[in-house]
Structure 1
Amino acid sequence: MQPGSTAHRDPVRVEVRGLTKTFGAVRAVDDLTFTVEPGSVTGFLGPNGAGKTTTMRMVLGLEEPDSGTATFNGAAYATLPAPVRTVGAVLETAFHPARSGRNHLRVYCRAAGLPLSRADETLRQVGLADAGGRRAGGYSLGMRQRLALATALLGDPAVLVLDEPANGLDPEGIQWLRGFIRHLAHDEGRTVLVSSHLLSEMEHTADRVVIVGAGRLVREGSIAELRSGAQGAGTVLVRSPEADRLSAVLTSAGLAATRSEDGLVTVTDTTPAAVGARAFAAQVELHELRAETSGLEALYFRLTAGQEQFAAGPTPTTTEGAAR
């Protein structure tokens, strides 16, 4: 099979079922269940200490769970006949600083029984072809991240498990990584699980997200599904040529309505259906009626509120306050 082809690559589904792991008195992962589908990018999100890295290590057989399973088309990582050809992972950027990027990859090729030519092929894939002969110790943090990604791709795996792959990348590198990851999933049919703290970037990269907090599943699904599930009674934006009358009608009905200069009325703690019903009953003409949608960042903070490992105090508003 040629690297990057899909002719003979079987889709691989990753299933995490009831994973639990305790370190002393700390329950790092608590009965965690989710699925990573082939042909899509799944974002793995959560505050520091939420159990993301521990979960990834259990998925890759690097940590033994107290209970539960993590499988690739039903098989645990340890039982895969050729794991490097099934799963590629980036959990850290370990390398010998005196070894060139190319030789670093060749060491992994020899260990995995892969042709040495894969070193140059993956260097080209990640944009390091011109830097392959340089010592890895002189690489920038972003270049090290690309080298780690090249290492994960050596076996041309069907599954990629990436822990914070955008760390150290500049804006251009992040944009490249977004397109590259989506190409691997959408065009080549691979299964991609990627953790990141760059929430705005995950909104553009991930097809689905798995959000965890305190080791437990908080929410799983597409961003659209999360929006619809998290909204319920929220903020509604409604525009009318009779904004003053509409605002009075809504206020008299006990709704908190705020009138803007451009005919927009903002109504909190309600739904579009409730606002529309009041307007219809009062014969008020509407030109716009919609729920205020939240981006991934807003949804994330709403869903994980109170589950941070380290909670910051209030932000000082003045220099004097900061000094205190």
Structure 2
Amino acid sequence: MRAVHDLSFTVEPGQVTGFLGPNGAGKTTTLRMALGLITPDAGSTTFDGVPYADLPSPLRRVGAVLETAFHPARTGRNHLRVYCRAAGLPIERADQVLDQVGLTAAAGRKAGNYSLGMRQRLGLATALLGDPDVLVLDEPANGLDPEGIQWLRGFLRHLAHDQGRTVLVSSHLLTEVEQTADRVVIVGAGRLVRQGSMAELRAGAGAGTVLVRSPEAPRLAEVLRGAGATVLSAEGQELTVGGSTTDDVGRHAFAAGVELHELRSNTSGLEEIYFRLTAGQEQYAAGSPAGGPGPDPAVAGAHAAQGGQS
């Protein structure tokens, strides 16, 4: 069965890119191919034009967390020191990255006794050991509490925006991705479904209306229609307007001397856009709440991996 087919995208430095798709869409397979853990039938992934396997010092160039693996009897500090020795990195990096991810107080504890959230932080610390330019993270927020998720959001944005690093994050937490990512790549059944910034995704999905409330709603509706806007609904003092921005509506209302009590945009969130774009591409489909049959499961496709350059 094919997992990825003709998938190509670019991940830019200075940005957090969210990598989204239903279970079985090919996300983890794509990341494993990017890191040379799986060999595709065709295509390639490069980091500034160089395949991962050909990087002279991979950990200094790319930090990745696909699975959090550790010896349960080793302390968090010793786990990281083993990686430092293997990669020829200064041993001091272990304590430095433990501090970065907030695990200094638990550095001497056995990793086998860490909570799931602490293991995720330890995995992130491992990826940071080489102080890499690129981070590739698969579900890094799993197991984190709300405070930890908020910390991770700020940390990843700091790495990208303030330090100019390239950050690619695979996640099922759509609301969190919407608050963290600058760009989004959505895949389904092993193929690219859509990519772009949130603004571009909303525009491509035809999403976005303006809600306005005015004691002169009927007159405002006529003004807006005359300006080429589409009044989608008019109920009492409230109008829903398409084909315009809040700036447009406010400007036309001001020019016509119409009093406004409320003016706001009503744009679709990432979750709504995601489900609209990936409908029918789930690997597993549950039955309806009433016990009726659900939609047929989609068959994932693909043989070629053309991963994006960083």
User: Shared fold by TM > 0.5?
Assistant: yes
Is 1:122–2:75 an aligned residue pair?
A: no
1:313 aligns with 2:293: no
Aligned residue pairs, count: 282
CA offsets 1:35-89 (integer angstroms, 9 cap, x no match): 1101111010111111100000011111101111100010000111111110000
Equivalent of 2:60 in 85, 91, 106: 85
CA distance in 1, matches of 2:268, 2:174: 12
Change in Cα spacing, 1:198 to 1:74, as seen in structure 2 (3 Å) is same
Q: Which amino acid aligns with 2:235?
A: R
CA contact (8 A) 2:184 2:198 kept: yes
Task: After TM superposition, list the pairs within 5 Å mapping 1:160-239 onto structure 2.
Answer: 160-231=135-206, 235=209, 237-239=211-213
Instruction: Confirm or deny that 1:70 pairs with 2:42.
Output: no
Between the aligned partners of 1:314 and 1:259, the Cα distance in structure 2 is 34
Give 1:243's aligned amino acid: A
1:271 is aligned, of 224, 243, 248, to: 243
Q: Which residue of 1 aligns with 2:9?
A: 34
Q: Find the aligned partners of 2:3 and 2:283 in 1 and give their Cα distance.
A: 11
Q: Return 5+ residue gaps in structure 2 as ranges.
A: 225-229, 293-310
**Candidates 116, 131, 148, aligned match of 2:106:** 131
Distance 1:256 1:150, change over 3 A: closer
Q: Distance in 2 between matches of 1:63 and 1:286?
A: 62
* Distance (whole Å) between structure 2 residues aligned to residue 290 and residue 174 of structure 1: 29
Tell me the TM-score normalised to structure 1 length.
0.79
How far apart are 1:213 and its partner, in Å? 0.8
Tell me which of 61, 65, 80 is aligned to 1:105. 80
After superposition, the C-alpha distances for 1:207-234 in whole angstroms (9 at most, x for unaligned) are: 11111111111111111111111116x6
- Alignment of 1:155 onto 2:145: no
Structure 1, unmatched stretches of 5+, are 1-25
- Which structure carries more relative contact order (alpha carbon 8 Å, separation 6+)? 2
Using the TM superposition, give the Cα deviation of residue 256 of structure 1 relative to its aligned residue in structure 2, in angstroms. 5.8
Q: What is the distance in 2 between the residues matched to 1:266 and 1:136?
A: 55
In the alignment, the residues of structure 2 paired with residue 85 and residue 290 of structure 1 have an alpha-carbon distance, to the nearest angstrom, of 46
RMSD (CA atoms): 2.9
Distance 1:139 1:289 in 2: 49
Structure with more of its chain in strand, by fraction: 1
Q: Is residue 231–residue 240 contact of structure 2 (8 Å, CA) maintained in 1?
A: no
Structure 1: distance between partners of 2:43 and 2:270: 29
Percent of matched pairs sharing the same residue? 73
Deviations 1:88-145 (A, max 9, x none): 0010111111111111111111111111111111111110011111000000000000
Stretch of structure 1 that moved more, 187-196 or 285-294 = 285-294
SS of residue paired to 2:71: coil
Q: TM-score, normalised by structure 2?
A: 0.82
Provide closer, same or farther for how the CA distance between residues 249 and 178 of structure 1 changes in structure 2, counting only shifts above 3 A: closer
Matching of residue 292 in structure 1 with residue 266 in structure 2: yes
Aligned residue for 2:105, secondary structure, equals helix
Tell me what 1:54 maps to: 29
Q: Which amino acid is the alignment partner of residue 212 of structure 1? A: V
Q: Is the 8 A contact 1:247 1:259 kept in 2?
A: no
